[in-house]
Structure 1
Amino acid sequence: MMETGAVALRIAGRKAGKACIVVEKIDSSFVMVDDGLTRKRCNISHIELTSKKADKYDSTKATAQSLRSLGFDVPEKRKQKPEQQVLQTKGQAPAKKEKPKSSSKKK
């Protein structure tokens, strides 16, 4: 039976082998899991429960801290490129490069 707070390992998909925490049970075949970066719906048959249980999992940040304290590796969130950060703070879109105009005409 899936309990909230249970630590599980993903066994299928792109994140196979990564640890996650069961946050809530959606229905008989799906649960909401949090891996310290994102919360996603996951099929119960795609995860394997461990004997460990997390105390705090109310936010993604708390989930990451709980997984680290239990000995699991949780990568840091990827940061945006500096150029994109500057543009977002100014509220501007990135400038497009213009093609040089050719002076000769085709006949």
Structure 2
Amino acid sequence: KAPETYNPDPNLDLLASNDQLESAQVVDARSPAEYAAGHLEGAVNIDYSKVMGANGIASAQSLSQTFSGLDKNLPVVVYSSKGGQASIVWYALYTQGYQVSLYILA
């Protein structure tokens, strides 16, 4: 039997504020075409598919190459149009030791 009530308990500490965008490295996790159509000022494009491997998240070596333009000593904020793509890139960055948060477009 399915549960009757689901009460989500989101961790709001993982979300970035508008103020954090000014001091962070901003990553747009959408496709290159979506990025080209418009993106947040200063954002770099890391397509979420670039962090995927054959069986899930890509290898550490592959991720190191994909994230080579980012500084591990600075915070990273990731966004996408609906959040799914950004969540995948967020997880990949997190596994590599980056200080990363998600930005929800409103």
Give me the TM-score of the superposition, normalised by structure 1.
Answer: 0.29
Higher strand share: 1
Higher relative CO (Cα under 8 Å, sequence separation at least 6) belongs to 2
Give me the TM-score of the superposition, normalised by structure 2.
Answer: 0.29
Structure showing greater radius of gyration is: 1
